[in-house]
């Protein structure tokens, strides 16, 4: 079946999409609606533009949803080096930074590398101002959180790019994901003033900080108000007589932006979504599953408030019927040469096969999707994937890990940073991915790779987890791995039967229902410390690991006997139980489905 679908897609919807139409949308957006800030008039205008474009594309029920959110309107920052010499430095206040007041803050400058926990080893930053790199390892939000935990009174984040890069970055530092709850407002909002500076200035400060004795002063200018914000949603429904008309693929990307054109981020992504909507609406009669489109906002200055509201508000339908979430953000950046996809592992075999058929001999890379961008649907259990071209390892090394281009989040993000030949390639990949998910009789998900990741992580944690009975969880995970192999084999078998014209729709619905239930169990387990009903802070350090709820197990093994260890052990036992239940429940879903399949 996969080959049949690829052939149909290549002569159908993949051939229908046009980079020229995408370009026309991008040029109009950046010319007529620059600085599409959430909570601003241009933010509303962008939402209306997306709605009108969907209506023109014959997308049903295209509409705006308005909601209240805490957003941010940062301005310039006043910043100067005071010792060993006095120098004024151009800076931007970062979104959701705290206000310093007119007196500002003054302190010794301490360089902390990327700003992750290990970078603070041997450093005392209490009462001092930290200088950190702007890479996403960790994200700005987590850099701020860690710096505040360590006692810093301010943070200076130098831009990435080549050493001579003079672009001054924008960005947000609000860890709390979405509109805050009483708990996240009290515990996950920014605690210190944060500013961004150009890389060329930052490298000079780094040299002085490493010598010791450098002192700086900064003053922030920012408003962090509650404002009404707007998202745009539309739907291309499958025919009611299709075998699974209620199911759909969620296609999303943010439509808000920082000042300037923000051509790559994310006018280009929005234009791709509009073009895909046009092409799929024209072929809605061929779909087995529909497409729901979400143009999110408050991604930049609200930490995913728009997509989080949609997840919370439409939870029931998303949980029952969403099969996967394709996120489009910053496609076709100039100078990129490799195709990179991040995904939950059950999607890897599917998207890797499809993208290889489109990109040919081009190098491709993959990594496990973490909770970045508008990945607000992990709690529901919707598997996520996103793909776009990226730079080579050497280019990333030379630009301080500028994964999204040296111009990212700056006024330099203009139309000239887009490669239109690459845009055509991106569109073909996105259309081929979406087509297969919307038309495949048997969903092309495979769970053996998920089982492998879980068992590998549990084996790594086994020595530290002995005190809480992790060996029993590992045994359950090995049982799940065996069951996943049986399910994958059944899915492959029935996909082949459909390709030969010998499929059974009752079997397809049985297998697809089991796969959706597995994702509902496993995606939150793989991807969130807080579980299904919360949202981890943006860039949260445990998110870099599989099974983030077990991140603190190694600390338990090192802790001395006493109250702190006893409390941590209690927490880790409960989290151990969560993982045990998850893999056990997943195994039962497979066993029940295969038993019914055997009876058929």
SS3 361: coil
> Which conformational region is residue 96 in: left (phi greater than 0), alpha (psi within -120 to 50 degrees), or beta?
left
- CA 592/CA 30 separation, integer angstroms: 52
Please give the average per-residue pLDDT across 328-355, as a whole number: 97
Please give the average per-residue pLDDT across 106-127, as a whole number: 97
**What was the pLDDT predicted at 497?**
97
SS3 125: coil
Is 3 a residue whose pLDDT tops 60?
no
**What was the pLDDT predicted at 27?**
98
**What was the pLDDT predicted at 9?**
46
Is 4 a residue whose pLDDT tops 60?
no
**What was the pLDDT predicted at 135?**
85
- CA 522/CA 586 separation, integer angstroms: 7
Quick one: pLDDT band at residue 6, thresholds 50, 70, 90? very low
The per-residue pLDDT for range 512-534, each reduced to its tens digit, is: 999 999 999 999 999 999 999 99
As a whole number, the mean pLDDT across the chain is 96
Sign of CA dihedral 344, 345, 350, 351: positive
The per-residue pLDDT for range 359-398, each reduced to its tens digit, is: 999 999 999 999 989 999 999 999 999 999 999 999 999 9
The pLDDT > 90 percentage for the chain reads: 96
- CA 268/CA 148 separation, integer angstroms: 35
Is 10 a residue whose pLDDT tops 60?
no
**What was the pLDDT predicted at 395?**
97
In order, the DSSP letters of 169-232 are P--B---S-SSPPHHHHHHSS--S-EEEE-HHHHHHHHHHHHHS--EEEEE--EE--EEEEEEE
Please give the average per-residue pLDDT across 245-258, as a whole number: 98
Contacts of 266 (CB under 8 A, 6+ apart): 253, 254, 255, 257, 299, 328, 329, 330
- CA 305/CA 38 separation, integer angstroms: 10
Angle at 532 between CA 528 and CA 535, to 5 degrees: 55
The per-residue pLDDT for range 161-214, each reduced to its tens digit, is: 999 999 999 999 999 999 999 999 999 999 999 999 999 999 999 999 999 999
Quick one: pLDDT band at residue 1, thresholds 50, 70, 90? very low
The per-residue pLDDT for range 259-291, each reduced to its tens digit, is: 999 999 999 999 999 999 999 999 999 999 999
Is 292 a residue whose pLDDT tops 50?
yes
SS3 501: coil
Is 353 a residue whose pLDDT tops 50?
yes
Is 595 a residue whose pLDDT tops 90?
yes
Could you tell me where the beta strands, DSSP code E, fall in 351-411? Answer: 364-368, 384-390
**What was the pLDDT predicted at 8?**
46
**What was the pLDDT predicted at 598?**
87
The per-residue pLDDT for range 532-545, each reduced to its tens digit, is: 999 999 999 999 99
The per-residue pLDDT for range 470-489, each reduced to its tens digit, is: 999 999 999 999 999 999 99
Please give the average per-residue pLDDT across 400-428, as a whole number: 97
């Amino acid at each position: 079946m996969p080959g049949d679908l690829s052939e149909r897609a290549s002569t159908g919807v993949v051939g229908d999409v046009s980079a020229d139409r995408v370009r026309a949308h991008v040029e109009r957006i950046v010319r007529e609606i620059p600085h599409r800030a959430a909570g601003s008039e241009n933010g509303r205008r962008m939402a209306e533009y997306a709605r009108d474009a969907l209506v023109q594309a014959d997308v049903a029920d295209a509409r705006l949803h308005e909601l209240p959110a805490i957003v941010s309107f940062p301005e310039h920052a006043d910043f100067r080096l005071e010792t060993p010499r006095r120098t004024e430095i151009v800076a931007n206040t970062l979104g959701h930074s705290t206000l310093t007041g007119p007196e500002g803050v003054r302190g010794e400058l301490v360089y902390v590398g990327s700003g992750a926990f290990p970078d603070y080893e041997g450093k005392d930053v209490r009462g001092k101002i930290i200088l950190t790199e702007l890479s996403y390892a960790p994200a700005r939000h987590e850099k701020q959180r860690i710096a505040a935990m360590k006692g810093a009174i301010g943070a200076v984040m130098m831009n990435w790019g080549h050493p001579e890069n003079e672009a001054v970055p924008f960005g947000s530092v609000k860890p709390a994901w979405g509109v805050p709850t009483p708990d996240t407002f009290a515990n996950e909002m920014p605690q210190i003033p944060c500013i961004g500076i150009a890389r060329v200035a930052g490298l000079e400060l780094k040299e002085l900080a490493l010598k010791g004795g450098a002192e700086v002063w900064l003053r922030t200018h920012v408003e962090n108000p509650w404002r009404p914000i707007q998202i745009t949603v539309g739907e291309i429904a499958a025919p009611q007589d299709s075998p699974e008309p209620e199911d759909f693929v969620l296609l999303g990307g943010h439509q808000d932006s920082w000042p300037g054109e923000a051509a790559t981020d994310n006018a280009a992504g929005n234009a791709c979504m509009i073009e895909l909507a046009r092409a799929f609406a024209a072929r809605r009669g061929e779909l087995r599953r529909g497409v729901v489109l979400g143009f999110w906002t408050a991604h930049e200055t609200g930490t995913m408030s728009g997509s989080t509201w949609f997840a919370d508000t439409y939870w029931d339908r998303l949980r029952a019927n969403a099969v996967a979430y394709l996120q489009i953000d910053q496609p076709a950046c100039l100078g990129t040469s490799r195709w990179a996809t991040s995904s939950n592992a059950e999607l890897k075999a599917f998207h890797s096969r499809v993208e290889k058929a489109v990109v040919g001999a081009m190098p491709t890379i993959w990594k496990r999707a973490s909770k970045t961008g508008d990945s607000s649907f992990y709690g529901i259990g919707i598997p996520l994937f996103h793909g776009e071209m990226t730079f080579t390892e050497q280019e990333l090394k030379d630009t301080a890990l500028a994964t999204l281009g040296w111009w990212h989040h700056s006024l330099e993000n203009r139309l000239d940073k887009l490669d239109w030949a690459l845009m055509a390639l991106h569109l073909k990949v996105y259309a081929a991915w979406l087509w297969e998910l919307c038309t495949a009789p048997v969903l092309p998900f495979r769970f053996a790779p998920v089982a492998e990741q879980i068992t590998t992580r549990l084996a790594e944690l086994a020595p530290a987890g002995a005190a809480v009975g992790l060996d029993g969880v590992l045994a359950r995970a090995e049982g799940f791995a065996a069951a996943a192999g049986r399910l994958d084999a059944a899915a492959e078998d029935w996909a082949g039967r459909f390709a030969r014209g010998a499929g059974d729709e009752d079997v397809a619905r049985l297998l697809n229902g089991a796969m959706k239930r597995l994702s509902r169990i496993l995606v939150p387990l793989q991807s969130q410390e807080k579980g299904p009903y919360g949202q981890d802070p943006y860039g949260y350090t445990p998110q870099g690991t599989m099974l983030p709820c077990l991140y603190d197990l190694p600390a338990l093994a090192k802790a001395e006997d006493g109250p702190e260890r006893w409390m941590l052990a209690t927490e880790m036992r409960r989290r151990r139980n969560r993982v045990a239940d998850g893999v056990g429940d997943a195994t039962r879903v497979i066993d029940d489905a295969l038993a019914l399949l055997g009876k058929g």
